């Protein structure tokens, strides 16, 4: 299909409403890392179906995601994942009002697979197409569905503006979320992301991939004061993070240890490492709350999102911090923290509502900061 044809089809449906009273249905596709996922979400915040095909078993033996293998696995899975998503919701592609897919940032081979699938469906059906920024998917999903730290009140959702800790395998940022497409970067990591730090420390301990959930569960039986990990930048003003010093400390501790490591040693190590990450997050968020006030915003909700938002200690500490500062804490339910199609479908709906649909061919982007939206 020619480029003009793509533009014409998408322009034809720009107006933004389904034309009747039923909610709009969005098919969302995520393929930026190691999950091939699709979901159908409606504009009344219902998830009609959601399929997540995790490639973790395929990457585990390499200790991390291998981009070429991921892209190939996405190609093999995408048709089946989309078909099952439609079947499970009892819908066909003709019932879909909006198609949305991750167009970056991420591993470009995988992003291309999901983006081309979405473009194909949108072109074949004449449906509006939304190019979703993966980080925006994480950032907006608490507006689809949010829970408290202990997982209760799953039907709640967050209103703008909110202060967001976005912590995933690839990113670690504090953002002031004022509206769809309105993200102010308050702080970010100067080196590793929080998820990367969890994954690398787990790898050093020989615990497997992905490391975050394993370290989290080991930490629950460990002593957080057993090892003195540093708290980088916590004595400095500002809201930026640095995790490389924590990683280096981990390596030094392990060089001194006698092998093999006992279970008790590993549990204490994980608890102490995790406590340092939690302290850094709390310290930086305290600064960010002051920063938000300087920006003339008074967000009432403190939100955590991204894969690391699954961490029990981080959720607990952030809930306490919110209470101390008279804010409400919210997080997506566990199943919507790590990469998933529902967050992309919801971001598709939010963008479509404000007219942010694709009107000309776009190139998916491996790097795409939220502040460039």
Nearest approach in angstroms of CB 168 to Zn ion is 4
Which residues are CB-neighbours of 43 under 8 A, at least 6 positions away?
23, 24, 26, 349, 353
Residue 343 touches ligand KG4, criterion: CB under 6 A: no
Q: Which of 49, 168, 276, 283 binds ligand KG4 (CB under 6 A)?
A: 168
ω before 260 within 30° of 0 (cis)? yes
- Stretch in the footprint of ligand KG4 (CB under 6 A) among 121-129, 139-147, 192-200, 252-260: 192-200
Which among ligand KG4, Zn ion, none contacts residue 351 (Cβ within 5 to 8 A by kind)? Answer: none
| Site map (CB under 6 A) of ligand KG4, residues 1-40, x = contact | --------------------------------x-------
How far is the C-alpha of 15 from the C-alpha of 292, rounded, in Å? Answer: 34
Residue 339 touches Zn ion, criterion: CB under 5 A: yes
Residue 105 touches ligand KG4, criterion: CB under 6 A: no
Closest by Cα among 327, 333, 288, 292 to 309: 333
Q: How many Cβ atoms sit within 10 Å of the Cβ of residue 21?
A: 5
Residue 348 touches ligand KG4, criterion: CB under 6 A: no
Two tokens, residue 65:
């995601």
Q: How many helices and strands, by DSSP H and E, does the chain display?
A: 11, 10
Alpha-helical runs (H) found in 325-355: 341-353
Which among Zn ion, ligand KG4, none contacts residue 147 (Cβ within 5 to 8 A by kind)? Answer: none
Nearest approach in angstroms of CB 243 to ligand KG4 is 12
27-59 in b/e burial notation, b at 16+ Cβ within 10 A?
Answer: bbbbbbbbbbbbbbbbbeeebbbbbbbebeeeb
Q: Which of 10, 199, 291, 319 binds ligand KG4 (CB under 6 A)?
A: 199
Residues near ligand KG4 (CB under 6 A) are 33, 168-170, 195, 198-199, 210-213, 216, 306-308, 310-311, 338-339
Residues near Zn ion (CB under 5 A) are 168, 339
């Amino acid at each position: 299909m020619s480029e003009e044809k793509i533009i014409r089809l998408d322009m034809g449906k720009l107006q933004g409403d389904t034309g009747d009273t039923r909610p709009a249905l969005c098919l969302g596709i995520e393929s930026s890392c190691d999950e091939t996922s699709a979901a159908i979400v409606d504009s009344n915040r219902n998830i009609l179906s959601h399929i997540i095909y995790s490639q973790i078993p395929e990457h585990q033996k390499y200790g991390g995601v291998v981009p070429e293998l991921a892209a190939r696995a996405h190609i093999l899975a995408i048709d089946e994942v989309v078909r099952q998503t439609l079947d499970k919701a009892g819908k066909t592609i003709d019932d879909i009002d909006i198609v949305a897919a991750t167009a970056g940032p991420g591993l470009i081979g995988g992003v291309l697979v999901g983006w081309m699938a979405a473009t194909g469906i949108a072109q074949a059906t004449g449906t509006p197409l939304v190019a979703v920024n993966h980080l925006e998917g994480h950032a907006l999903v608490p507006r689809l569905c949010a829970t408290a730290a202990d997982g209760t009140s799953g039907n709640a959702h967050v209103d703008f503006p909110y202060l967001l800790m976005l912590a995933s395998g690839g990113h670690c940022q504090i953002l002031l979320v004022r509206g769809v497409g309105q993200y102010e970067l308050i702080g970010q990591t100067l080196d590793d992301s929080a998820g990367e730090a969890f994954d690398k420390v787990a790898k050093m301990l020989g615990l497997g991939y992905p490391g975050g959930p394993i370290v989290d569960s080991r930490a629950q039986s460990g002593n957080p004061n057993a090892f003195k990990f540093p708290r980088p930048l916590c004595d400095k003003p500002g809201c930026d993070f640095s995790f490389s010093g924590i990683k280096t400390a981990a390596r030094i501790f392990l060089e001194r240890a006698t092998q093999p490591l006992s279970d008790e040693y590993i549990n204490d190590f994980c608890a102490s490492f995790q406590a340092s990450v939690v302290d850094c997050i709390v310290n930086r968020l305290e600064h960010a709350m002051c920063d938000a006030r300087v920006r003339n915003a008074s967000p009432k909700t403190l939100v955590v999102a991204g894969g690391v938002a699954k961490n029990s200690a981080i959720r607990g500490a952030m809930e306490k911090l919110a209470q101390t500062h008279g804010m409400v804490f919210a997080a997506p339910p566990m199943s919507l923290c790590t990469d998933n199609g529902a967050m992309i479908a919801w971001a598709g709906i939010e963008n479509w509502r404000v007219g942010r649909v694709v009107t000309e061919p776009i190139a998916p982007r491996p790097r795409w900061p939220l502040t460039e939206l």
